[in-house]
Chain A
Amino acid sequence: MASLLRYDDPTAPVFLKGLTMPVTPDREVFRSLQAGDLTALSVLYDRYGGLVHRLALRVLGNVSEAEDLTQEIFLMLWKNQGYDPNRGSLSNYLLTLTRSRAIDRLRSRSSNLRFLQKWSQNVPTPPTTPFEHAALGERSTQVRAALQELPLNQRQVLELAYYDGLTQMQIADTLNTPLGTVKTRARQGLLKLRQLLQDFVG
C-alpha cells in the first residue's frame, strides 16, 4: 500500500504542519482497512482519534470512560466495518456513532433521562463538500467562528440537546424557560448555523 501521509502526526516535520497537504483520501484509507491493513487503522486513528475522544469526553465528562469509548469506536470500525463511503464522510460517521454510543452510556447511567434518538441515525454529509477536503484544524476554526456568531441562548439550547441528549422539554426545565421559547431558539440557532456554514454543508 502506498505510504499514507499523516498530516496531523505529532512527529511530522514542522514545515508540514498547518499545510493542506494532498493526503490520501479517507475512502482510500478505508479501502485498505477493509483489506485488513492495520496501518490504515492507525492512519484513521491519527486523523480522527483526537476528535472522537474530545466528543466522548464532552458527553461523558470522564477521561477513562472517554478513552474506553474511543477504543470501542475504532474497534467497531475495524471489525464491523459498518461504514459505507457512499453514505457520507468517515469523520461524520465516526462522530455520529460516538455521540450515539456516548449518549447510550449516559442513559445507562440514569434511566430516567430520555434522549433524542433523531441524531442517533446516520447523518449523511455529502462526501464531496469542501468540508471534506478541509484539514481538521480548519474545520474547527470555521465551526467555532460560526458558533460565536450565534446568540448565546441559541447556542446553549443547541449544545444541551446535542451533547446532553436532552429533550426540548428537559431543556426548558433546566433553563427555567418556556417550552415555546426553547423550541424557537433551537430552530433559529440551527438555521443560522446552517447559513453560516453553508459553504461547507452545501
Chain B
Amino acid sequence: MKKIKMEISGMHCASCAANIERSLKKIPGIKGITVSLLLKKGTVECEDNVREEEVKHAVKRAGYNVERMSRE
C-alpha cells in the first residue's frame, strides 16, 4: 500500500470533487480516495502497482489537472 498526494487545479464546485473521485475509483487497486475542493488537494491510498501516471490520467479524464504529486 502506498499513499499518493496531489494538488489539483481546475476544481471550482462540489461536483468537481465528486467527479475526480468517480474517475479515480475506476483504477483497479485504488482503496481510499479523498478529494478536497477547499484545499484543492487529493489523496489516494492504493496498491503499490498502481502507477502515478494512471492517477494523473484519471484526474485529467474528469477534466482537471494534477499540478504536483508526491508519494508517501
Partners in one complex: no
